[in-house]
Amino acid sequence: MDERRSALQINNIEVMYHEVILALKGVSLEVPQGGIVGLLGANGAGKSTTLKAISGLLKHEDGEVTEGSIEFLGQRIDKKSAEEIAGLGIVQVIEGRRVFEHLTVEENLRVGAHLRGNGAHLRRGLDAVYHYFPRLKDRRDVQAGYLSGGEQQMTVIGRALMARPQIMLLDEPSMGLAPMLIKEIFEIITRLNREEGISILLVEQNVKLALATAPYAYVLENGRVVMDEPAEKLRENPDIRDFYLGLTDLGARKSFRAVKHYKRRKRWLT
Amino acid sequence: MDLFLQLLITGVMVGSIYALVALGWTLIYKCSGVLNLAMGELTLMGAYVCLSFYTWGIPFPLAVVGMLIIGFILGLLTERLFLRRMVGESILAVIMVTVGLSFFFRGIVAFTWGTDTRVFDPPVFPAEPIRWGRIVVGQVYVWSFVAALVMLVVFVAFFKYTRWGLSMQATADDEMAALSLGVSAHRVYALAWAIAFMAAGVGGTLLGNINGLNISVGYLGLLVLPAVVLGGLNSVPGAIVGGIAIGVLQNLSAGYLSRFTPGGIKEIAPFAFMVIILLFRPYGLWGWVKIERV
């Protein structure tokens, strides 16, 4: 981990849904200021839950952080409401391109600036979003429900940008998009990080892409962090190569005959 | 033909009042998913508050403004005291709370203002009707129409152009996404109730000017249901058009059908109409169609 001050720090949190279902069992992670950190894992590993615990959206799904703490720039936030957390500059882009379908693109963006008032900031914010996503400028008066998938993803990222985030929590921005678009969107994410200094916590199922974008990553499994290492080390890790990247040592595709997954288990918790 | 035009015009004018109340109803439904069965009692509260101000000698426009302020506060309070703790409970439970609210408000009205019919005295609008050719329309209708129209324009502009208006629409569209941007859902719900209270209050006041005010004005609360079903439960333009359509329908059926029936057709027609709409267009005319990209 690099030596910069940490923006976000999660200390051993436990999350419960409906007071019975334990979704996270001791997750700790850290996002340095101005850094990009990846959060990897299979379906149901607890990636989205981790993001919701940070952004406070968990409380609206009857979930709760029952143990541990979440700190943002040294301030505890795990007991704060979603709007307070957004006010501090932590904005989650929730999974699945959730645009406000019946509003136009520009109205979507204006809702993004909800906490920042109407005046000069709004103008500046819109300019910035149209600078990063020129395509949205052409589509500004279109109802967001009728945009293409890529444009919708741009709209929700742009909308989050309007909230002036210090840290963005991105939940699977590549989901369901064409490879070309994924490339474009990830380039913009990297630029937002570099040019605007926004720290990013990136949840991704596309591990190859995530490890190319984030210099450091955590791997979640069954609600636990099972690995955290710099990206280049993770790329070399035989388990990651096998289970997430689908590569053998030679980089060739595996033959089904060779797969004896019932014999070899992921055993990271020694 | 004259009779038809006459009925049509007064129908549109009364209908605009329904439209106003229906808009308030739709707003609560859209933003918070609460099916509000206390709408009629909200109109009663507003109307009686305005009447009280007026009988104390406050000029009518100021009395309306006072009523709007009180309605706003009552709306916030209603949400805070009764509905906030119901967030996340089953739909049926929330509906029952609104039924309870309707009895509660009705009780307050009967207790405070009595059950006799009260009128705005002296009359707010001149009794002299306006004539266009052979069509005669009471001034109270014309002014009610104008007032309802102004309110509708103000509300629609509020949703379209202000920060909170947009955030309310956003919450209606996708509550989780709105929350993630720092929009407070509780405040949106509270605002929806406040606006509904104000819209209902104006509606009730206008109706009170037309027919006099008693507990049966609360019947309006049921009448908005066919209006919003016609328009599509969660469409604001739908509620407006639906309200006007119901007003027209009511008037036409009163004019043409009442001589064949022992009376009451005016009250029944909107509901018969609602059943037919539900059979053929369960989403109403402008109900939200989920946008599917293919």
Q: What is the pLDDT of residues B147-184, one digit of tens each?
A: 999 999 999 999 999 999 999 999 999 999 999 999 99
Q: Copy the structure tokens of residue B81.
A: 């005291």
| Mean pLDDT computed over A87-111 | 94
CB B188 within 8 Å of CB B167? yes
Predicted local confidence at residue B80, as pLDDT: 94
- Cα separations in angstroms, B39 against A146, A231, B198, B217: 34, 59, 11, 11
Residues from chain B that touch A85, judged by Cβ atoms under 8 A, are 182
Nearest-neighbour CA in chain B from A244: distance (Å): 29
Which position has the higher pLDDT, A100 or A247? A100
Q: pLDDT at position A250, please?
A: 53
Q: Does B288 touch chain A (CB under 8 A)?
A: yes
Report CB contact under 8 Å: B169, A102: yes
Q: What is the pLDDT of residue A264?
A: 54
* Dmax (CA) of chain B: 62
> What share of chain A in percent tops pLDDT 70?
89
Residue type for A132, please?
A: Y
- Interchain pair A145, B170: CB under 8 A: no
pTM of the model: 0.87
Q: Could you give the 3-state DSSP secondary structure of residue A260?
A: coil
Instruction: State yes or no: pLDDT of A2 exceeds 50.
Output: no
Is residue B75 pLDDT above 60, yes or no? yes
Q: Alpha-carbon distance A216 to A211, whole Å?
A: 8
> Which residue of chain B comes nearest to A145, CA vs CA?
B291
Pairwise pLDDT comparison (A270 vs B227), residue with the higher score = B227
Q: What confidence tier does A83 reach under pLDDT thresholds 50, 70, 90? A: very high
Q: Which of A62, A92, A98 sits opposite B174 (nearest CB)?
A: A98
CA–CA dist A165, A91 (Å, integer): 6
pLDDT in tens, A112-152: 999 987 788 899 999 999 999 999 999 999 999 999 999 99
B208-232 mean pLDDT:
87
pLDDT digits (tens, 9 = 90+) for B18-67: 999 999 999 999 888 888 999 999 999 999 999 999 999 999 999 999 99
Q: Which of A186-196 are b and which e, b meaning 16 or more Cβ less than 10 Å from the residue's Cβ?
A: bebbeebbeee
Q: Which residues neighbour B283 within 8 Å (Cβ) at sequence distance 6 or greater?
A: B232, B289
Q: Best mutation site among A57, A77, A98, A100 for testing chain B: the one with the most B CBs within 10 Å?
A: A100
The mean predicted confidence, pLDDT, of chain B is: 90
What crossing angle do the helices spanning A149-162 and A120-132 adopt, rounded to 10°?
A: 140
Residue B122: cis peptide before it, omega within 30 degrees of 0: yes
Residue type, A130: Y
Q: How many residues does chain B have?
A: 294
Which tokens is B100 given?
């309870």
pLDDT for the residue numbered B47: 95
pLDDT at res. B268: 87
Residues within 8 A of A (CB atoms), B 66-105 only: 88
Q: Which amino acid is at B238?
A: G
- Domain locations in chain B as residue ranges: 2-131+183-280
- Is this prediction's ipTM beyond 0.90? no
Task: Tell me the percentage of chain A whose pLDDT exceeds 90.
Answer: 74
A122 Cα to chain B: minimum distance (Å): 11
| Cα A201 to Cα A23, A61, A121, distances in angstroms | 19, 21, 25
pLDDT at residue A237 greater than cutoff 60 = yes
Supply the pLDDT for residue A1. Answer: 45
Sheet containing A224-230, strands listed edge to edge, beginning at the edge strand earlier in sequence: A90-93, A167-171, A199-203, A36-41, A216-221, A224-230
Average pLDDT over residues A24-45: 93
A-B contacts at Cβ under 8 angstroms = 89
Assess whether pLDDT exceeds 50 at residue A171: yes
pLDDT of residue B87: 79
Is the Cβ of B259 closer than 8 Å to some Cβ of chain A? no
Sequence-separated contacts (24+) of B249-252 with Cβ below 8 Å: B249/B11, B249/B273, B250/B11, B250/B14, B250/B15, B251/B7, B251/B8, B251/B10, B251/B11, B251/B14, B252/B4, B252/B7, B252/B8, B252/B11
Q: How far apart are CA B43 and CA B36, in angstroms?
A: 13
- Say what the pLDDT of residue B260 is: 84
- Cβ–Cβ contact A143 with B under 8 A: yes
- With tokens 């921005």, the residue in question is A173
Cβ pair A47, A41 in contact under 8 A:
yes
Taking CB atoms and an 8 Å limit, are A91 and B181 in contact across chains?
yes
Task: Determine the pLDDT at residue A270.
Answer: 43
Does residue B278 surpass a pLDDT of 70? Answer: yes
Q: Which of A60-64, A157-161, B77-81, B231-235 has the lowest mean pLDDT?
A: B231-235
Does residue B263 carry a pLDDT above 90?
Answer: no
Residue B279 pLDDT exceeds 80: yes
CA A74 – CA A82 distance, rounded (Å): 18
Q: Which residue of A has its CA nearest to B234?
A: A102
Q: What's the mean pLDDT when you consider all of chain A?
A: 89
